[in-house]
Amino acid sequence: MEKAKVYFTKDISSEGLVKIYEALRTNLKGNVAIKLHSGEAGNQNYLKPELVKELVEKVNGTVVECNTAYEGMRDTTEKHRELMNNHGWTKYFNVDILDSEGEDKVLEIPNGLVINKNYVGKNIDKYDSMLVLSHFKGHPMGGYGGALKQLSIGVASGYGKRYIHCVGKENGTYEEMFQVDQLKFLEAMADSASSVAKYFKENIAYINVMCNMSVDCDCCATAKDPCMKDIGILASTDPVAIDEACIDLVYNSEDEGKEHLIERIESRHGLHTIEAAFKLGIGNKEYELIEID
């Protein structure tokens, strides 16, 4: 398999985001969904609307999100819309909560490692292409959060998130979400990520922003402060390669704070998600890192 191309810039700015997207030389056609994390109420680390504004305008995209499977300010459409307004998303962008109404859309996963279907918001059918814009950081369950998590848990509906967490158990309880086999949960994330990648085929691209890297996710209302200095922005059309490249940049960093993020990744076996996604054939672990000015 030919090495994937992953572009990198140290310029974490609105201009840097546009520049690295342009380096991809990809043409996201038609109605473009920009999948990002709206940030739980109280979280201080999520990517802010002002940072991504020029990029969203560049691709003429719609910011899309999905409801959560746990209590908070994003577990119902009403509360989620209020939060997106409070966080400034609706000030700048058209916003679409994909699972805001109606039955979920089911994406089949015939070759899934542990699950064979994925529940996503039915509004996904409105979009011809997707830009997966992820904040790379740690995660309490996944070990880390990047493109693959955004593709899987991020795009899944509220019900779909619980289905993934419960490794395919229909109507699993909130408590069961945190009592499953960890490796199977990570494989379920890879399965669901593969279904979204295959749904959009060549009409999908990925950008990871390595800033405000806490051991915690943007879904945490009370998240730990960043443990590492900012590194940069990466872009690729390969979700496996971009996450692998981010991991390598963390491990190869001279920042002493990396030990905290590495501990979070390794204690949750986070790299298994990348291995599983590679096994499913949606990307390549071998990549060429191309730095741009």
* pLDDT tens by residue, 28-75: 999 999 999 999 999 999 999 999 999 999 999 999 999 999 888 999
Question: How far apart are the C-alpha atoms of 184 and 187, rounded to whole Å?
Answer: 5
pLDDT attached to residue 270: 98
Q: What is the pLDDT of residue 1?
A: 74
pLDDT in tens, 179-217: 999 999 999 999 999 999 999 999 999 999 999 999 999
* Distance in angstroms between the alpha carbons of the first and the last residue of the chain: 28
User: Would you state the pLDDT for residue 3?
Assistant: 97
| pTM for the whole structure | 0.97
State residue 82's pLDDT score.
97
In terms of DSSP H, where are the helices of 60-181? 77-86, 89-92, 147-149, 158-165
Q: State the amino acid at position 12 in one-letter form.
A: I
> For the chain, which ranges sit under pLDDT 70?
none
pLDDT reported for residue 140: 94
Report pLDDT for 208: 98
C-alpha distances out from residue 46 to 36, 40, 199, Å? 10, 8, 27
Gyration radius from the chain CA atoms: 17
Show Cβ contacts of residue 292 under 8 Å, excluding neighbours closer than 6 positions: 7, 8, 9, 19, 20, 23
Token digits for 164?
């993934």
